[in-house]
Amino acid sequence: MAQQASGTVAVIRLCNPPVNALSLTVLQALEDGLRRAEADPSVKAAVICGENGQFSAGADIREFSSPRRQGLALGPVVSLIESSRKPVVAAIEGFALGGGLEVALGCHYRIAHVKARMGLPEVTIGLLPAAEGTQRLPRLIGVPAALEMITTGRHIPAAEALKLGLIDEAVEENTVEAAIDLAKKVIGQPLGPRRLSQKPVPKLPNMEAFLSDALVKLKKQARGCLAPELCFQAVRACTQQPFAAGVRRERELFGVLLGSGQAQALQYLFFAERAMHRWATATGASWQRAAPQPVRTAAVIGLGTMGRGIVTSLVKARIPVVALEQDGECLSAGRRAVMALLEREAAKTEQGAPALDFRGPGRLRFAVDLAALADVDVVIEAVFEDMQLKKEIFRKLSKVCKPGALLCTNTSALSIDEIASATSRPQQVLGTHFFSPAHVMRLVEIIYGWHTAPSAIATAVQLAKTLHKVGVVVGNCFGFVGNRMMFPYLQQAVFLLEEGSRAEAVDQVLEDFGFKIGPFRMSDLAGLDVGWRSRKGQGLTGASLPAGTPPRQRQGRRYSPLPDLLCEQGRFGQKAGRGWYLYERAGGRVARPDPWLHSFLCHYRDAHGIRPRAIGPEEILERCLLALINEGFAILAEGIAAGPEHLDVIYTNGYGWPRHRGGPMFYASTLGLPHVLAQLQKYSEAHPDSPELRPSAWLQRLVAMGSPPLQEWMSCLGQHGSKL
Ligand code: 3H9
């Protein structure tokens, strides 16, 4: 904290790099500064600003787990600012988030730089604004706008803040100087009307109806996450009670959230996502020894669904792109699709932000000749999942691309080492597994091969960050991390169907748990034919099976041919209008249970001598989730990922795992490893032909070691890995 005087104005500077988080130490210094300014007769006004062009990102999240935090020190400091007898002006540069914005709301005036962003994102870390923000913001900008900001946590740009009346002025430069000028101008003016706690909440003609509608919408979106609803309750309190009572309600609700496991899970994810750039590989390479290469230009090969999304992501990140297709016809179709996507994205540009310029010279070029890629820094190949085709492309790329170019393949399962073997520079080859739609989904699995250079990995991690994505570095194995863990989950879902469940019952249980869609709806959305093609390629189904293979076994383990049988009937999912469900038409979205499936399953069970049984929600949930988690333990033991938080970031960003449950490995740690082990043992004994339910050796070892906390799993692996 730095304090200086500018004539009659005291300037109080929040200083706690990198984001000026309001730790208890910073708060104490802020309080001291305010008291000094108040006591000093030569000071007539004060300005609060942040060091290094950042106002403040709010309370120090790391301190929430400390017992010292119980005192909720920030609210009283905000009250102190507001009750000052001298005008206090907030000079907002960079971010004013959470407690940072609440400090600004305590000030009598707010000036922001045009590029500043403001928000109350506490909901995203399982909390609510607890420094009186839920009571002050609605008084300033009205209940609907405040409710939207508080329940979504959205960061708004200065232009929007000005329109809402959240700030008094937006300036293009010298924010602190402008704030000092304003402070001087308002010296002596009455402060009562500027104190938000004393303002009435702006009335709506239909406040109750508005609030009940809002609550219905919120509950639907929250899917079991507590924080949005408690944020709502805190805002509603301001419409029903005076300021002081509203503040008491806010604190009470904050206490509920703070003690809930959900806040812990969401804060764990906050830090886990930020730790993803600190990757390490099983071969010993790590971020500490690798510098990224600059990416000034990029190319994408293949303009199918994935390629279009990747091109759009690159253009949005303002990286010039060459988009390549195999012939003129595919190129024009691809060009039309990419341009339409970019038009839609450009229309979403927020007020005050620079326009998305994709038509300017050199921004986006379309080509059919590989020679157009000679100078690019990165190539991302996004053609079909066909090993021979990919190898052919990589063979050609090593001839045309400049020596330092990074060569990436967008694949969801194929071996990076095999693809890299087609090039003369395997050290520059890696996998970038984007998720569909690639311009929306945040996750990219970055897969290194045996020969991939650390600098190539660092470049891909940096590129993911530039694209505003979370890049998670993982090793090379079939399905990598995400899909490899998904296979046993989907398998269990189908086995449950064979044993007597209904698709909609299984989906419901997993949706109640918090998944956006259950496994059968998800398979229909992704297309059942995708897995079918892959299984045929692996010789698991079709004519290539050895004679005499039992219909429900493959390679000595349980196998359900149900998904294959559906595909043989053309039931490919949503695109065909039928799959596990029936849709209103091909490409339809509304899933209805299909009586056909019910009778098909009855015949199938009869034919295979299966006596259907009633299966409860607990068994459905446990078998699906524990099979997935069990694979996670195997992945960690093999060194395919650097730690459990990598798996959790993958699942919460790419597979719809509910964030408030922290990811599968975090969830396992909250269930307790002995419980996870015991349940797996139970199910494995009941289904000995399902190896995915057999507890992983690593899980057993962790339990034998006394179930250390998640943060210590990998160091335990370091000690015992060789014995597994
Ligand atoms: C709150 O305010 C509660 C109050 O209502 C009342 C309480 C009583 N604390 O994201 P970055 C670290 S709750 C501690 O990579 P960017 C972050 O971990 C708070 N640390 O940068 C990282 O560390 P490292 C409500 C924090 O430019 C480094 O700073 N506020 C905090 O991409 C850089 O972060 C929020 O929820 C923090 N509050 O994005 C805002 N914030 O380098 C949370 C950041 O070791 N923060 N760090 O990995 C953000 O959303 C982003 O960090 C921000 C910058 C947009 C600010």
How confident is the model over 555-599, as pLDDT tens digits? 778 999 999 999 999 999 999 999 999 999 998 999 999 999 999
**Dihedral (C-alpha) 300, 306, 312, 318: value to the nearest 10 degrees?**
-50
Domain boundary among 557, 574, 607: 607
Q: Say if 496 falls within a structural domain.
A: no
Q: Say if 277 falls within a structural domain.
A: no
Mutating to test ligand 1, I would choose from 61, 101, 254 the residue with most ligand atoms within 8 A of its C-beta, which is 61
**220 and 135 belong to one structural domain:** yes
Name the residue type at position 501: S
Q: How far is the CA of 212 from the centre of ligand 1 (A)?
A: 32
Which atom belonging to ligand 1 lies closest to the Cα atom of 62?
Answer: 14
Q: Say if 281 falls within a structural domain.
A: no
The model's pTM: 0.94
Q: How far is the CA of 272 from the centre of ligand 1 (A)?
A: 12
Domain boundary among 478, 511, 529: 478
**pLDDT recorded at residue 724:** 43
- Residue ranges of the chain whose pLDDT lies below 70: 1-7, 67-72, 351-352, 542-551, 719-724
Task: Report the CATH number that the domain containing residue 241 is assigned in CATH.
Answer: 3.90.226.10
pLDDT (tens digit per residue) in 137-148: 999 999 999 999
Name the residue with the closest Cα to ligand 1, atom 51.
57
Q: Which residues line ligand 1 (CB under 6 A)?
A: 18-19, 21, 57-62, 72, 74, 95, 97-99, 102, 121-122, 125, 127, 129-131, 133, 271, 274
Q: How far is the CA of 26 from the centre of ligand 1 (A)?
A: 15
Q: Say if 416 falls within a structural domain.
A: yes
**471 and 510 belong to one structural domain:** no
**Vertex 116 angle, CA 114 and 121, to 5°:** 145
Q: How far is the CA of 19 from the centre of ligand 1 (A)?
A: 7
Which residues fall within 8 angstroms of residue 252, CB to CB, at 6 or more apart? none
**pLDDT recorded at residue 547:** 62
Name the residue with the closest Cα to ligand 1, atom 11.
274
From 82, 122, 504, 631, active-site residue: 122
From 82, 102, 250, 619, active-site residue: 102
**pLDDT recorded at residue 549:** 66
What percentage of the chain exceeds 70 in pLDDT?
96
Q: How far is the CA of 720 from the centre of ligand 1 (A)?
A: 35
Name the residue with the closest Cα to ligand 1, atom 40.
57
**172 and 87 belong to one structural domain:** yes
**442 and 549 belong to one structural domain:** no
Q: How far is the CA of 330 from the centre of ligand 1 (A)?
A: 44
**pLDDT recorded at residue 617:** 98
Note the Cα 122 to chain centre separation in Å: 15
Q: Say if 489 falls within a structural domain.
A: no
**27 and 49 belong to one structural domain:** yes
**548 and 654 belong to one structural domain:** no
Task: Report the CATH number that the domain containing residue 378 is assigned in CATH.
Answer: 3.40.50.720
DSSP, collapsed to helix, strand or coil, labels residue 286 as: strand
Which atom belonging to ligand 1 lies closest to the Cα atom of 275?
Answer: 48
**540 and 454 belong to one structural domain:** no
Which atom belonging to ligand 1 lies closest to the Cα atom of 94?
Answer: 56
**236 and 150 belong to one structural domain:** yes
Q: In what order do the strands lie in the sheet with 95-97?
A: 95-97, 117-119, 156-157
**629 and 678 belong to one structural domain:** yes
638 is catalytic: no
Q: SS3 sequence, 551-591?
A: CCEECCEECCCHHHHHHHCCCCEHHHCECCCECCCCCCCCC
Q: Taking a C-beta distance cutoff of 8 angstroms, is the pair 253, 230 a contact?
A: yes
Domain boundary among 579, 607, 635: 607
Q: Say if 464 falls within a structural domain.
A: yes
Q: How far is the CA of 459 from the centre of ligand 1 (A)?
A: 24
**pLDDT recorded at residue 206:** 94
**pLDDT recorded at residue 318:** 93
**426 and 525 belong to one structural domain:** no
Name the residue with the closest Cα to ligand 1, atom 48.
274
Number of folded domains that form the chain: 4
**pLDDT recorded at residue 356:** 79
Which atom belonging to ligand 1 lies closest to the Cα atom of 61?
Answer: 9
Note the Cα 719 to chain centre separation in Å: 32
Q: How far is the CA of 52 from the centre of ligand 1 (A)?
A: 15
**632 and 571 belong to one structural domain:** no
**pLDDT recorded at residue 52:** 93
**Cα(245)–Cα(583) distance, rounded to whole angstroms?**
51
Which atom belonging to ligand 1 lies closest to the Cα atom of 254?
Answer: 8
Task: Report the CATH number that the domain containing residue 582 is assigned in CATH.
Answer: 1.10.1040.10
Phi and psi at residue 106, to the nearest 5°: -75, -25
Which atom belonging to ligand 1 lies closest to the Cα atom of 69?
Answer: 8
The two tokens of residue 643 are 């730690």
**444 and 296 belong to one structural domain:** yes
Q: Say if 119 falls within a structural domain.
A: yes
Structural domain span for residue 665: 617-717
Name the residue with the closest Cα to ligand 1, atom 15.
274
**pLDDT recorded at residue 537:** 76
Q: Half-sphere exposure of residue 228, counting CA atoms within 13 Å on the CB side?
A: 20
Mutating to test ligand 1, I would choose from 19, 101, 115 the residue with most ligand atoms within 8 A of its C-beta, which is 19
345 is catalytic: no
**pLDDT recorded at residue 385:** 85
